Amino acid sequence: MRLLSWPAAALALAIGASQAAAQAGSPSLEERVKELEMKASAKGKSGGGGDAVGAYFDDGLRFKSDNGSFEGRIGAYVITHYTTFLWANEADGYNDGFSLREAGADLYGRLWGAWEVYVRPRVMPGGTDLYYGWVEFNKWDAFKVRAGVFKEPYSPERLEDVKWMDLPEDSMVSITTPGRDLGAMIHGAPLDGMVNYAVGVFNGNGVGGDENSDKDLALRLAIRPGAKMESDVIKHLTIGGSFTRGISDRNNVTPFAFRAPATGTTWHGGVPSMGWELDSMVTRAGADIVWVWGPFSLKTEYSYFKQKLEFADTDHETFRAHAWYAQAGFWLLGSTRLNNHRPDIKKPIFGDKGGFGDIQVVGRFSQIRIGDTFEEHAGLGGSRSVQEIALGVNYYPNAYVRVSVMYVNYRYDHEDTREIRTANGRLLDEDNCIVIRGQIDF
C-alpha cells in the first residue's frame, strides 16, 4: 500500500500544479469583458484619434459624430411626368408621353455647428448639371453668409424646391422671376423668426457665367407676425416683398421666355422685322402672402418686370410685364405642409398608425400681361396676355412618395390681328393638358 500511495500522491500534486498554472495564465470573466469593451472603443476611433460617426435613416441617410462636430446627409429623388394634350396631336406639334422631369442626389455636410456645404447634381432630359452647390457659414440664425450656386431670393413660388411644389408645374408668375445664379448672399431670421431677410449679389446670367462686369442686386424681406404665438391661426402667416436690379447685355432675345410652363406653347413670338439690344437696367419688384393654417393654405403673389430696349431703328422703348397668381389648397385628412418643407402626413399608409396617407386638393388662377413693345417695333405676333386655371390632386401615401394629377387651361388674347397658330396652321386661342406626376424622394 505504501509503495502505491506515493505515485498517487505525486500524480495528484502534478495535476494540481498544472491547473493552478492554467488559471494563473487565463483572464477572469470580468477581465475578458473589459478587454472586449476596450477593443470596441478602439474600433470606433480613427487612426488619427477622430470621433466615432454613426449612421441612421431619418429623411435621408444621415451621419453624425458622437461629439456633434460633424453631421451629414445623403438623399435622392426621381420625378417623372406623363403629359397628355386634350386638344392637340402630333400634327399640331404636341406629343403625349412620358418624360423624366428630373432626378438628383442631395449631399449635405455640416461641421462644428457653423459651416455647411450642400451639393445637388441633377439629371434631366437635356443632360446633367449642378443644380445647387454652395457653402454657408450659419452659426447664428440671425446672420448667415452663403456663396455658390443657389436661387436668388425672389418669389416664394420660385424658391420652393421642385419636390415640394403644390402643383406639378409653376404659374405664369414664374417666367418673370430669376432662378438659380452664381453669387453671394447674407440672410437670416432674427427675432425668433419674426423677420426673414436676404441681401445678395449675383452674376445675373444664371449658372453659365456672366455677360458683363456689372452684378445684380437682390433683396427680400418677409415678416411673420405670429411666429412666437402658440395659436396656429397666424403662426405660419408670412408677408413678404422682393426686389432685383441689374444690367442685361444680350441681343435679339426676349427678356424672358414667352412660353406656357405646362404645355410649352410660345404665346408671343414669330420672325422679327428688326433686331434689338438688351443693354440696360432690369428691374423686378414683387409682393407675396403665404398663409398655412393646419390643412389649409392660401398663397398669392404679384411680380412686376421692367427693362429698357434699343431697337435697330434707334428707338428706345421700355418693356413691362405684370404677373400674379392666387392659390388655395386643402388636405382632406388633416395633414399639413409648411412652405418649402416636406409634408407632415398624419397617418402614413406604412406607418405605425396604419393610415391611408392623405390627399391634397389645390386650385390656382394666374395671369400675365406684357406691353406691346415687341409687337409694335419688331413685328412679333401672338398674345399679349395669358390666363391660367389649374386644378390638382396630390396623393401622398407617406411623406416620401407622391402621385399628382393636374389639369391646366391657358387662355390667350386674340384681339385684332393677334394670333397663335400650331404647326399645321390651326388657330389657337386656348390650350390645355393633363400632367401626371410620380415622385419618390428621401
pLDDT of 77 higher than 90: yes
Q: Average pLDDT for residues 310-339, to the nearest whole number?
A: 91
Task: Show me where the domains of the chain are located.
Answer: 52-441
**CA dihedral sign of residues 335, 338, 344, 345:** positive
Question: CB of 66 within 8 A of CB of 54?
Answer: yes
21 φψ region: left (φ > 0), alpha (ψ -120 to 50), beta (else): alpha
Q: Report the C-alpha gap between 282 and 254 in whole angstroms.
A: 12
3-state secondary structure of 82: strand
What is the predicted pLDDT for the residue at 12? 38
What's the fold here for domain 52-441?
A: Porin (2.40.160)
- Which grid cell is 210? 456672366
Q: Report the C-alpha gap between 341 and 163 in whole angstroms.
A: 9
What is the predicted pLDDT for the residue at 295? 97
336-362: pLDDT as tens digits: 999 999 999 999 997 676 789 999 999
Question: CB of 276 within 8 A of CB of 376?
Answer: no
pLDDT of 369 higher than 60: yes
**CA dihedral sign of residues 88, 89, 93, 97:** positive
Q: What is the mean pLDDT of the chain?
A: 86
User: Full-prediction pTM beyond 0.75?
Assistant: yes
Q: Report the C-alpha gap between 4 and 332 in whole angstroms.
A: 97
Q: Average pLDDT for residues 380-403, to the nearest whole number?
A: 95
What does the angle CA 102 – CA 108 – CA 114 come to, to the nearest 5 degrees? 145
pLDDT of 1 higher than 90: no
- Which grid cell is 93? 406639334
Q: Of 38 and 251, which is predicted with more confidence?
A: 251
Single out the residue of 410, 415, 167, 91 nearest to residue 266, CA to CA: 410
Q: Average pLDDT for residues 67-93, to the nearest whole number?
A: 91
Q: Report the C-alpha gap between 356 and 346 in whole angstroms.
A: 9
243 CB burial (10 A radius; 0-12, 13-18, 19+): middle
Q: Report the C-alpha gap between 368 and 407 in whole angstroms.
A: 19
pLDDT of 65 higher than 80: yes
Identify the H or E element spanning 182: strand 180-188
pLDDT of 253 higher than 80: yes
Identify the H or E element spanning 29: helix 29-43
Q: Please name every residue paired with 438 in a beta bridge, in sequence order, or none if there are none.
A: 80, 403
How would residue 285 be classed by pLDDT, with cut points 50, 70 and 90? very high
Q: Of 433 and 45, which is predicted with more confidence?
A: 433
pLDDT of 426 higher than 70: yes
Q: Report the C-alpha gap between 418 and 132 in whole angstroms.
A: 40
Identify the H or E element spanning 97: strand 97-111
pLDDT of 41 higher than 80: no
What is the predicted pLDDT for the residue at 25? 43
- Which grid cell is 98? 412620358
Q: Average pLDDT for residues 211-225, to the nearest whole number?
A: 89
Percent of the chain with pLDDT over 70: 85
